[in-house]
Chain A
Amino acid sequence: MNSNPEIPDLCRQGDAWLDGQLPESAAAQFEAHLFQCPYCRSRIESAQEFELEIEAACRLFANSISDTVANSELQESQKLPRPVRSFYNRQAFWAATATIAAGILVILWLAWPPTPAPSGNPVQVTQSNPESQNTTELAKPTVQIAFTGSALAEPAITTERFTFVRVFAVTTVTPKSTASDVSDFQ
């Protein structure tokens, strides 16, 4: 109706007035116009009767809203069939995710700057036990291995971890590697 050029502007506001979309002042203006315009009156009356017809159709043919919603959901499910995801697929998905995550962790661990490897040659220091001097038993000498230039570091642990990580990485990330490859890292 609104696209018809023969209809005056005020008469075009009938639909908006029916739907309660007009502001208060515009609604009052249209209601005043309604008393004078038989076209708008008949139009509004027929629209109100039609509103009842819509309600009648809905009440007659829609048993309940839940049926309508269920029908629409059914139609949607028919349009887009949900992908069947089996238990095996889910397991495979999680296994792949875990493998990738483990790989990332290993790479990060390898990329982390390790403790500097001990430098210098090990020196064996032999020290006599002073308490054993008062006893008749032979004193057992205490043996310490120290590295020159890095006496406070923990060389043994660091080297072991580094070696273990390398071996783990080679055996897990590149499963086709041979024992000789592993020995190269050691």
Chain B
Amino acid sequence: MSERLEEHWPDLLRFARSLAGNVDSAHEIAQESMVRALARNPQLPEIANTRGWLFQIAANVCREWWHRQARESASLAQLVALRDNRQQMGNPLPPEIAEQRERLTDIWEFIQTLPDIQRQVLVKQLVDGSSHQQIADQLGISKDNVKANLCVARQKLRQRFLKIETPAIQQDRSTV
């Protein structure tokens, strides 16, 4: 059982990094997620999509971790406010965490602006782990249509959020 979970550890760590925005916090979230998953060991044979289940636990852990970070940050801010004799203001989350959370919120808000069919195929694939054929059956469209909509949705997201850099190194090589 635990071997099935351990094989997802590298992916879980990368996923936790995308949630938290830094490596140290990612380790904390990934470990906590793995502990919770192992605690529910008897349920494991019934779960078809182990990776998705593990990632969902990590997302829940991340939510709680944000709240905890906010509380700790708030208490620290309160101490500073008491020292400076002023009221606590602004976002209680630490800047690095707040920045990553804001980025994820932006991504989700952009997903919400996609056409219905593109949003549905994207979320069904990522959250439910459904195959192209399953999504096609559920939405009553063809498999090719699902693939095309997924491609378009991803391209829109990349164009919006990924920075474009010219291949300077390759240009240098070609000029030499």
Contact = CB atoms under 8 A, between A and B. Distances in A.
Interface of A: 1, 4, 6-8, 11, 15, 18-19, 21, 37-40, 43, 46-47, 49-62, 64-65, 68-69, 72, 76
Contacts, number: 119
B164 A4 contact: yes
Interface in B132-176: 147, 150-151, 154-155, 157-159, 161-171
Contacts of A47: 158, 162
Interface residues of B, number: 45
Interface of B: 14-15, 17-19, 55-56, 58-59, 62-63, 103-105, 107-108, 111, 116, 119-120, 122-124, 126-128, 147, 150-151, 154-155, 157-159, 161-171
Contact of A8 (B17, B55, B167, B168): B167
B167 A37 contact: yes
A65 to B, nearest CB: 5
A39 B169 contact: yes
Contacts of B150: 19
B135 to A, nearest CB: 10
Given A1-B164, A37-B167, A39-B168, 6 more contacts: A4-B164, A4-B166, A15-B155, A55-B55, A59-B55, A60-B108
Q: DSSP class of B's interface residues: helix, strand, loop or mixed?
A: helix
Contact of A39 (B14, B127, B167): B167
A18 B157 CA distance: 13
Nearest to A72: B116
Give 4 closest A-B pairs by Cβ, nearest first.
A39-B167, A59-B59, A52-B18, A57-B107
